[in-house]
Amino acid sequence: MIKVANLKKSFTGQAVLRDISLNVAPGELIVILGESGSGKSVFLQHLIGLLKPDSGSIEIDGVDITTLSERKLLKLRKNIGYLFQEGALYDFMTVYENIAFPLHEHTRLRLKEIKEKVLNILKLVGLEKAGMKFPSELSGGMRKRAALARSVVLDSKILFCDEPTSGLDPKKSKEISDLINDISRRSKCTTVITSHDIYNSFRIADRLVLIDHGQIIARGKPEEIELSSDPKVKEFLI
Ligand SMILES: Nc1ncnc2c1ncn2[C@@H]1O[C@H](COP(=O)(O)OP(=O)(O)OP(=O)(O)O)[C@@H](O)[C@H]1O
Ligand SMILES: [Mg+2]
């Protein structure tokens, strides 16, 4: 369970998050939609403790993470899968090594078990033939899939994905959205995705949250948002 209450954040006097409150139920898949610069990435960075709010709280499974020490935050992050907006694969490692890395770092699995897990996940994301390639040798869509594989390899119960479809064509966007949806449902992950991708967000989300200038302007099931008469919501959905 994630409970965000009255979160506020400014950078050099500019308010970026203005009093955001949001609960995410266990196993729920939420997509946060909003224009560029509306505060989506800043919000997600707060959820993993990379940024501290000016005020407000973020409870994850009963613990307020805004007051945790760096050491406790590191421990918390082991239990959270995080797909960065830019993918953030290590350029000097192959795809296989990138995905195996969290397993070497955070588990005591033996080499054979790691290999089995990595090969399974490569297959799941359709990269079984790309394990020995370096990130620079992949297409944008393949890089996103490799980064997604790395973010879910520890079987975390919480998954955050920042713009998983940005820069991809409609077919690839649909593929990666379906993949995240499958992985999230399969492992009953509590999932928060940020996106501009209205079409795929409506297809996969349990609930949508629209943010505008750091404020939530609408939230609800896709069919509820679709019927909204709020002019700002309608304008965003065009
Ligand atoms: N570390 C930072 N220091 C100062 N300002 C920041 C920082 N991070 C983000 N901002 C500002 O906060 C605002 C929101 O940025 P954010 O990255 O959250 O937008 P976004 O909704 O994720 O946009 P996009 O859809 O383009 O990814 C922007 O005006 C940005 O310049
Ligand atoms: Mg962003």
Q: Do 13 and 74 belong together in one domain?
A: yes
State if residue 41 touches ligand 1 by the CB under 6 angstroms criterion: yes
Q: Do 99 and 136 belong together in one domain?
A: yes
The CA 37 to ligand 1 mean position distance, Å, reads 5
The CA 201 to ligand 1 mean position distance, Å, reads 21
Nearest protein CA to atom 2 of ligand 1, as residue: 11
Q: Which of 121, 155, 189 is the last residue of a domain?
A: 155
Per-residue pLDDT of 18-47, as tens digits, reads 999 999 999 999 999 999 999 999 999 999
Ligand nearest to the CA of 42: 1
Specify the length of the chain in residues: 238
Other Cβ atoms less than 10 A from the Cβ of 16: the count is 18
Q: Do 164 and 192 belong together in one domain?
A: yes
Mean pLDDT, the chain, as a whole number? 92
The CA 87 to ligand 2 mean position distance, Å, reads 12
The CA 41 to ligand 2 mean position distance, Å, reads 4
Given a contact cutoff of 8 angstroms between Cβ atoms, the answer to whether 197 and 173 are in contact is: yes
Per-residue pLDDT of 94-134, as tens digits, reads 999 999 999 998 889 999 999 999 999 999 888 999 999 99
CATH, residue 212: 3.40.50.300
Is the predicted pLDDT of residue 87 greater than 80, yes or no? no
Q: Is the dihedral of CA 223, 192, 148, 170 positive or negative?
A: positive
Choose the residue to mutate in 8, 35, 42 for probing ligand 1, maximizing ligand atoms within 8 Å of C-beta.
42
Nearest protein CA to atom 25 of ligand 1, as residue: 36
Choose the residue to mutate in 41, 45, 48, 217 for probing ligand 1, maximizing ligand atoms within 8 Å of C-beta.
41
Q: Which of 135, 155, 175 is the last residue of a domain?
A: 155
Q: How many domains does the chain have?
A: 2
Q: Do 66 and 95 belong together in one domain?
A: no
State if residue 40 touches ligand 1 by the CB under 6 angstroms criterion: yes
Q: Which residue range is the domain that position 121 belongs to? A: 86-155
Alpha-carbon gap, residue 122 to 124, rounded angstroms: 5
Q: Which of 132, 155, 178 is the last residue of a domain?
A: 155
Q: Do 142 and 183 belong together in one domain?
A: no
Instruction: Locate 170 and state its tokens.
Output: 């409609």
Q: Which atom of ligand 1 is nearest to the CA of 44?
A: 18
DSSP codes, the chain: -EEEEEEEEEETTEEEEEEEEEEE-TT-EEEEEE-TTSSHHHHHHHHTTSS--SEEEEEETTEEGGG--HHHHHHHHTTEEEE-TT----TTS-HHHHHHHHHHHH----HHHHHHHHHHHHHHTT-TT-TTS-GGGS-HHHHHHHHHHHHHTT--SEEEEESTTTT--HHHHHHHHHHHHHHHHHTT-EEEEEES-HHHHHHH-SEEEEEETTEEEEEE-HHHHHT---HHHHHHH-
Q: Decide the pairing of beta strands 29-34 and 190-195.
A: parallel
Alpha-carbon gap, residue 205 to 192, rounded angstroms: 9
> pTM for the whole thing?
0.93
Mean pLDDT of all residues in 59-71? 93
Alpha-carbon gap, residue 209 to 226, rounded angstroms: 12
